[in-house]
Chains A and B, each alone.
Chain A
Amino acid sequence: MNDRRSFFVLTMLVFGFAFLYLPIIAMVIYSFNASRLVTVWDSANSPTLAWYVELFHNSQIMDAAKLSFRIASVNATGAVILGTLAAFALQRYRKFRGRAMFGLLTTAPMVLPEVITGLSLLLLFVALEQGIGWPSGRGATTITIAHMTFSMAYAIVVIQARLATVDRSLEEAAMDLGARPWKVFAVITLPLIASAIASAWVLAFILSWDDIVITSFVSGPGSTTLPQLVFSKVRLGVSPDINALATILVLIVSLAVVVAGTYMMRRDRRRMRDSQAAQGATG
């Protein structure tokens, strides 16, 4: 009975991961296919790096990638600053006027459909332009503002979760010794939540780097981000250079996740060893 159950679970695991990964693996393999028909393997001329060469010579794609990178970096930095403040307010200031509203505003952007967020922000930018003349037209600035608004919500979740586990007695001790609140934050709290802030930054970067729907609403004619370019290309059908682009992006992300993963596992193991050692010392 037990064997039969674990066999079922194992089968589902294999099936599930195959489902998640086979399409990505296929995309990587096809990126080396010489045929323009992407999924028809041209065994005479493949594998080839032709599409990678073409990709790097495509100035349109390179420009879009640069713009996306710039927007994603600025967005991540802004979202993390606002997110840290908001997380601190929600976690440390238990009571203040409008707290319930604040809580709602910080979580709503995560569950709101992207078409609604995009539509509403565009309507705001249009109204602002008519009313006060800013922002004049739409482009990198409006995209960054829109991205910050929704990625900030994710940053708050990550940072708040870490803040909740920080031992407050350290902050109180520093406060008792006469340190100003800002100093306490900079010297005690910030180092303790640094890893969460780093994760929030990466998360905000990726959310922005990847966004297509909200971006399409708030972008202007002069600013095309990488996802926008990819989207307009693939709407017309599969395209070999997009496979090459996808392969590069998947490679970068996999490397980053593997590095982060091994680092986290090592840290956990070290922590476990340390706490065992500490118990041994006291016991």
Chain B
Amino acid sequence: MAALALLLTGGGDAVSVSAPAGTRLAGRFAAIRGALGRRAVIALPYAWLAVFFLVPFLIVLKIAFSNIQLSMPPVEPVMVWTADHVLQLRLHFSNFTFVFGDELYLAAFVNSLQVAGVSTLFALLIGYPMAYGIARAPGAWRNILFLLVVLPFFTSFLLRVYAWMGLLGRSGPINALLMQLGIIHEPVQLLQTDFAVYLGMVYSYLPFMVLPLYSAIEKLDLTLLEAAADLGCRPAKAFFMITLPLTKEGIFAGCLLVFIPAVGEYVIPALLGGPDTLMIGRVVWDEFFGNRDWPVASALAIVLLVILAGFVLLLQRVQAQEGEA
């Protein structure tokens, strides 16, 4: 029984030894029950994630190495039992050579990274002063402004993107205003342009940038800035030498929270972008739903994932090095 308990807890939880025989047995019993409970607490969510997150992932990987065929599902089996009962593994690298060989996919990847990068930069440029202003606002105002940043989180992403369709349209208020001011004489095409995509990205992901920046700036020790001022440091210099370096973690977190979802974004380019706005999320979608080419869609997903994982690891490494320095 003790062996069983030991086995279940992995030898971690010691069973009482010095207690009298009766309580010792009860103690062991409780230990086993506790261990079983502990197992269940871990196993349930673990199993869920393994089945619905890890396994699907492996299937994507498998299908990325498969070939398209006319059937349901429209892919050739990867593992085949041959006539002489040998399990044959049929892996095709053609999807990857196809993806890397085609300029369209390459352009989609490059464009996605560019759109995400520029949008992240603009979100940072707008978001940093905002976060700074909120963190430095007087008490009651700070709570209200904070809530105002959080509020868009809870209002539908889709509807907030949709709001821009009306504003940017040919008969929309932005065109009307520009014409009233005499800047343009006839409506210009704003919707279905790359400009609209950038605008939508910055707009949708701005709260993701402001929140981590706010918590980083709020934590900042103000006496450091006072000390710098007392020693004759100009505010601008103090900002670049003290505030900015000390809120670096917030900047990293904010940029990551904007950049990562922006690279794979589908809704914004689909609604605000033109037919020629190439973004990888949209290409995966079209390959899957439009062309029904599951293997190529899977291969694109794998490449996208490798790129994103590379970015996260790179940023983590940079951060770790900063921490050491």
Interface residue ranges, A against B (CB under 8 Å) = 1-2, 5, 8-10, 12-13, 15-17, 19-21, 23-24, 26-27, 30, 37-40, 82-83, 85-86, 88-89, 93, 95-98, 102, 105-106, 108-109, 111-116, 119-121, 123-124, 126-127, 130, 145-146, 148-149, 152, 180-182, 206, 209-210, 212-213, 216-217, 227, 230-231, 234-235, 237-238, 242-243, 245-246, 249-250, 253-254, 256-258, 261, 265
> Could you tell me the distance between the alpha carbons of A12 and B261 in the complex, rounded to whole angstroms?
25
Interchain CB contact under 8 A, A13 and B145: yes
Contacts of B38 in A (CB 8 A): 93, 181
Known contacts A111-B260, A115-B281, A124-B55; decide if A253 and B155 are in contact (CB<8 Å). Answer: yes
Number of A-B contacts (CB under 8 A): 239
Looking at the assembled complex, report how far the CB atom of A71 sits from the nearest CB atom of chain B, in whole angstroms.
15
> Could you tell me the distance between the alpha carbons of A122 and B267 in the complex, rounded to whole angstroms?
19
Chain A binding site: helix, strand, loop or mixed by DSSP? helix
Among B92-100, B101-109, B162-170, B316-324, the one that faces the other chain is B162-170
Chain B binding site: helix, strand, loop or mixed by DSSP? helix
Is B118 part of the binding interface, using a Cβ–Cβ cutoff of 8 Å? no
> Could you tell me the distance between the alpha carbons of A105 and B54 in the complex, rounded to whole angstroms?
8
A-B contact pairs, 7 of them (CB 8 A): A13-B145, A23-B164, A30-B166, A95-B12, A115-B285, A210-B158, A261-B143
Known: A15-B126, A27-B159, A127-B59. 14 other contacts (CB 8 A): A12-B129, A17-B148, A23-B164, A39-B167, A85-B42, A86-B45, A97-B10, A105-B53, A123-B60, A124-B59, A126-B73, A234-B165, A246-B159, A258-B147
Is B37 part of the binding interface, using a Cβ–Cβ cutoff of 8 Å? yes
Looking at the assembled complex, report how far the CB atom of A260 sits from the nearest CB atom of chain B, in whole angstroms.
9
> Could you tell me the distance between the alpha carbons of A212 and B285 in the complex, rounded to whole angstroms?
12
> Could you tell me the distance between the alpha carbons of A231 and B305 in the complex, rounded to whole angstroms?
26
Closest to A88 in B: B41
The one of A8, A234, A242, A257 in contact with B151, judged by C-beta atoms closer than 8 angstroms, is A257
- Cβ-closest 7 pairs across A and B: A113-B264, A12-B129, A120-B56, A86-B45, A23-B163, A124-B56, A13-B133
